[in-house]
Structure 1
Amino acid sequence: MKILRRYWGLLALLALMAVWWSGNAGPELLYFLSAGVVVWSLLQAPAWCGAGTRKRGAFCRNNSYGLLLGCHIREHRWQKFKLLFWNRRWAEFSRGTWATPAARLATVTGLIGTVSAIATGIKDFALS
């Protein structure tokens, strides 16, 4: 049961791909599944912390939840999220999104969910 709570986003991704493959679902279901996949990848997917440490050039290697949040260390929890608001820090943030296989999976899953939501919007707009 613990593994299901940790990886529910992958099940949502499989359901999203199945719904797109069948082609007969409404846009509401596609939006819902796409949002679930994106939220999971940003806030719950197993990933690497990657927050800066006190040693110059060193980065935290603890496990974290999602691409936006840090590890269990209080200072790291929101440090990655804060990096999004400084343009010169984007390189630091994006470095961690491809650092480990789990982070790559979360990144690709989030991209798929985002592209799916955009495609659903375009499809919904074209039909109306």
Structure 2
Amino acid sequence: MGGERVVFNNLEIKPGKRVEVKGYIPEDCKDFSVNLGKDENNLILHANARFDFRNDKRVLACNSLKDCEWGEEVIMDIFPFQLGTEISLSLTFDTEKVNMIFSTGEEISFPVRFELDMINYVALRGLIFRCLTSE
């Protein structure tokens, strides 16, 4: 699979702040993920775009991970991704949900399932990473 894994630690992104991710989806990508949380064992958002992964084709699955235990996976009703294209994803974190706005203009929310006062950890896997910004 093309793409890479990029991890950012000690970010201190507080509620109300936005994180923007830009990258390229390789032609041979089976899936990619964007993770936000406290650390790799505590994620308020694991967004996994599956082009052709296991039994899923063109599925955006979201979940949370608390103390190494996965919550219930939620399959979103959109899939705004194309192989071989640039993407941008804007994520706004608040105490109750993470709002995601895609470069296509589509928007979804995923509930924050456990208390977190700031995002310290962002990990990207499967994309050719271009840029990460927060404001």
Higher Rg: 1
Which structure dedicates a bigger proportion of its chain to helix? 1
TM-score by length of 1: 0.23
Which structure dedicates a bigger proportion of its chain to strand? 2
